[in-house]
A and B are shown apart, each in its own frame.
Chain A
């Protein structure tokens, strides 16, 4: 199982803060599992495009996925994925 936390607008869209999900062995397959669970809403409003030009910040165990292999980053039992919308500030 993988722990997935949702923040900002993503939390509002999904209506949940945190879940445990069985979702394959990569970030990509985990996102597919989330799409399966939340349906069109997750695909259209969170992932936004079929190409997954993500307007998201995805942290796998506190590291941006860009630095651990991107969408193909390996996910193992007990890992934590944090899903943020693209946000900013100062």
Chain B
């Protein structure tokens, strides 16, 4: 198993201590997202202010993080979100999580608040809380470089926040390995609220499989499936995620100008194909990843990774910006300043709509450029101000929900549970609308990627325009994803692998007694516990399990999906029933008993 201990850090007291894993929780919740949810549920008091010292910030590996299973390098950050007020559960790749496993830890639980900025140094079981005065104010790249220089070791892995997290932007992320993000729900602000700038990790351990011979055999089959699958073996390695721009646009479900339209006539200009012809310089892989979807890019004056599909859309089409150069620049700024690109793009686009419709006045912008759709200058300028939480950027840094509410136009905020929607229009793709509406962390596509059957045809082709059957598909995808996120593997493997493969890897890699059914049941348990957490924090299913009013009432105005609205309200009652929840969306006593909750 990758890391067998919990490292508990109390920043108020300045203490660190090790704890053993709760083996009963491991069996029921696997690790990663699942175990961390259980820990948060048990330890966090109801109603805790997410940005107070009472919040708990959990860095969570899965039992396969740091192993040689394909993509076995993922970790999660779980906490109470300052954006949604509900559970935050953000996943990241790179190499940081695997290094934490090598140091012997599966979880870091950060409590309290340091009196002054600090960073945590972990070198196997030698853990120190160190002064971060000289790091505070630095961006994520400068911070990483400064820590590596101070340690005199460029093999150490660093996860840190930028100015956005320090200044408590509710859409701040945590960046590890300079380019990978635990992006969503404002986890970076929780880190900032604790005066914690960074966690640097170096380990010397190795992964020991429960049954090396059986694991070897399982991996042979899994690697073959990943290699032969069209998406994981060819599509993602060749083009990365960016190749989705054209396909979603051709489907007429590529949100444009804050979801006012669903076709972008100029999308080709910022497509994956165009990126490959212009700014692409190379490809990157995360730890133990045979897919390699990461993209290296360069502008004249800087280089970096990305943008991914979501970012191309969020900074591009959704803001009416078509050319790659400003989108790439805005993407780099988000990574350096520590902002979630999806929520940043969704907030700028909402601000552009507010400005064009007369709610935001020119004088509020000071000397900054007008927030007009299509303005490259405005995109780059305001992303920087947002990341530095300066001037009008401070308003933007709170996310689109708070921004639009403050101007009396909550309908311009395209959010669920106050979190910005990703790059798919649920009016033209009905099933993904269910995932957006019921996702426990607010609008999210990777809580159950129904784009796979509805658009790509994997594992079979479903009609994106119909609602029938989507509740069943949704539940299976949601449960399987919760289990994968708890294992330490990347969701992208699920284009090629099924529940039986994950159960076998957990069995032979980490000693779990799992089969496909019990794996999915663990996913069901994790999803339901997240639901219980949210209900305890005040979730109102009737109000919160839905989509923005625009998507429920304003038909798509042009393109192949012209005339469509989201009919997610037709899907949700069946979904609740399949989950064993009552008609109001509350898990029944019988269901809780069945799941051992």
Contacts and interface: CB of A to CB of B under 8 A. Distances in A.
Contact of A57 (B456, B492, B495): B456
Given A9-B238, A66-B463, 13 more contacts: A9-B235, A55-B230, A55-B234, A62-B559, A66-B461, A67-B461, A85-B234, A86-B230, A87-B235, A87-B236, A89-B240, A90-B241, A90-B309
B333 to A, nearest CB: 22
B247 interface: yes
Closest 7 CB pairs of A and B: A62-B560, A89-B241, A86-B230, A88-B231, A87-B235, A66-B461, A55-B230
A7 B240 contact: no
B265 to A, nearest CB: 13
B309 A9 contact: no
Interface in B243-289: 243-244, 246-247, 250-252, 272-273
A30 to B, nearest CB: 16
A71 interface: no
Given A8-B273, A57-B247, A88 B457 contact: no
A2 to B, nearest CB: 15
B230 A89 contact: no
B273 A7 contact: yes
Contacts of B293: 89
A34 interface: no
B560 A8 contact: no
Interface string B479-497: 0000000000001100100
A64 B241 CA distance: 20
A41 interface: no
A9 B491 CA distance: 23
Interface string A59-90: 10111101100000000000000101111111
A90 B560 contact: no
Given A8-B272, A57-B457, A63-B560, A84 B449 contact: no
A71 B456 CA distance: 17
30 contacts: A5-B250, A7-B246, A8-B238, A8-B272, A8-B273, A55-B230, A57-B455, A62-B252, A62-B561, A64-B463, A66-B457, A67-B461, A82-B246, A82-B247, A82-B250, A84-B243, A85-B235, A86-B230, A86-B235, A87-B231, A87-B235, A87-B239, A88-B244, A88-B456, A88-B495, A89-B240, A89-B242, A90-B309, A90-B449, A90-B491
A55 B229 CA distance: 9
Interface string B215-239: 0000000000000001110111011
Nearest to A63: B560
Contacts of B273: 7-8, 11
B250 A8 contact: no
A68 to B, nearest CB: 10
B184 to A, nearest CB: 12
B452 interface: yes
B446 A90 contact: yes
B458 interface: yes
B492 A87 contact: no
Interface string A19-55: 0000000000000000000000000000000000001
Contacts of B235: 8-9, 85-88
A27 to B, nearest CB: 14
B157 interface: no
B308 interface: yes
Given A64-B461, A89-B240, A90-B492, A9 B234 contact: yes
B562 to A, nearest CB: 9
B530 interface: no
A9 B242 CA distance: 13
B243 A89 contact: yes
Interface residues of A, number: 22
Interface in B165-217: none
B445 interface: yes
Given A55-B230, A90-B445, A84 B452 contact: no
A86 B240 CA distance: 12
**DSSP class of B's interface residues: helix, strand, loop or mixed?**
helix
Nearest to A48: B230
A62 B263 CA distance: 11
A86 B560 contact: no
> Among A62, A67, A82, which residue has the most Cβ atoms of chain B within 10 A?
A62
B420 interface: no
Contacts of B310: 90
Nearest to B491: A90
A12 to B, nearest CB: 9
B246 A84 contact: yes
A55 B228 CA distance: 11
Contacts of B230: 55, 85-87
A7 B243 contact: yes
A60 to B, nearest CB: 10
A69 to B, nearest CB: 13
B280 to A, nearest CB: 13
Contact of B251 (A5, A62, A66, A88): A62
A62 to B, nearest CB: 2
A11 B238 CA distance: 13
A11 B241 CA distance: 17
A67 B455 CA distance: 11
Contacts of B242: 89
A59 B250 contact: yes
A87 B250 contact: no
Nearest to A65: B461
A88 B458 contact: yes
A5 B247 CA distance: 11
Contacts of A66: 457, 461, 463
Contacts of A87: 230-231, 235-236, 239, 243-244, 247, 456
Contacts of A5: 250
Interface in B39-94: none
A9 B235 CA distance: 8
B250 A89 contact: no
A61 B250 CA distance: 8
Nearest to A55: B230
